[in-house]
Copies of this chain bind each other. A is one copy, B any other.
Amino acid sequence: MYGGGNNKIKENYIKKKEEMIRSGVSVLTEKGFSTAGINEILKIVGVPKGSFSYYFENKESFGREILIKYDEYFSRKLDFFWGDKELAVKERIRAFVANASYAMTRYDFKRGCLVGNLGQELNTLPKSLVKITCEIFVHWQMKMEILLEEARENGEITRNYDVKYLSRVFWSGWEGAVLRTRLERSVEPLEEFGKFFIEVVFD
């Protein structure tokens, strides 16, 4: 037992845990929570079945960490596209839609939105995951609210819309469009919804 060795063990432990969460994001984005199968994730990252509890208390707490990771990832994406002050707000939304179309095509329409997937599994999902899923939607909504406020300030929106309401409608519609895009294996629903939203909200 010497410090260097313990540090190495700790480092490996943290690295492995992160790998499991990352791999969990991929698997859950494709398959949702119930059918995901922790075993599949363990196999991918090379952790023996019996060692799962060494990293996470149970499937539910693993799910929580995966959701938090996904929110971090997706929020960075939103900040990247929506924080670009060089572009008109309308163009920033367009860029986000185009990127989503590209990403869904790239994954052969197999990956949807993790929080959208979980929402559909509601009746079998642990309550703490439902709660986090709702909170993540609120988080993304706030980002849209800020964006639409900016559009109002810079004159891109002159009508007297309630931006909170618009932001909620945006995310509802977006999740539905992701679903249709996967079903049809075509980016048309995503692009249509983006176009519709921009057309009706902006002057």
Contact = CB atoms under 8 A, between A and B. Distances in A.
Contacts of A188: 168
Contacts of A200: 200
Interface centre among A173, A188, A200 (most CB of B within 10 A): A173
A202 to B, nearest CB: 12
Contact of A31 (B30, B124, B176, B189): B124
Nearest to A194: B169
A130 interface: yes
Contacts of A98: none
A144 to B, nearest CB: 14
A32 interface: yes
Interface in A155-197: 165-166, 168-169, 171-180, 182-184, 188-189, 192-193, 196
A134 interface: yes
B176 A179 contact: yes
B123 A120 contact: no
A137 B172 contact: no
Interface of A: 30-32, 34-35, 109-110, 112, 116-117, 119-124, 130, 133-134, 137, 165-166, 168-169, 171-180, 182-184, 188-189, 192-193, 196, 200
13 contacts: A30-B123, A34-B35, A35-B121, A35-B124, A110-B123, A116-B179, A119-B182, A119-B183, A120-B179, A122-B183, A168-B189, A175-B176, A175-B179
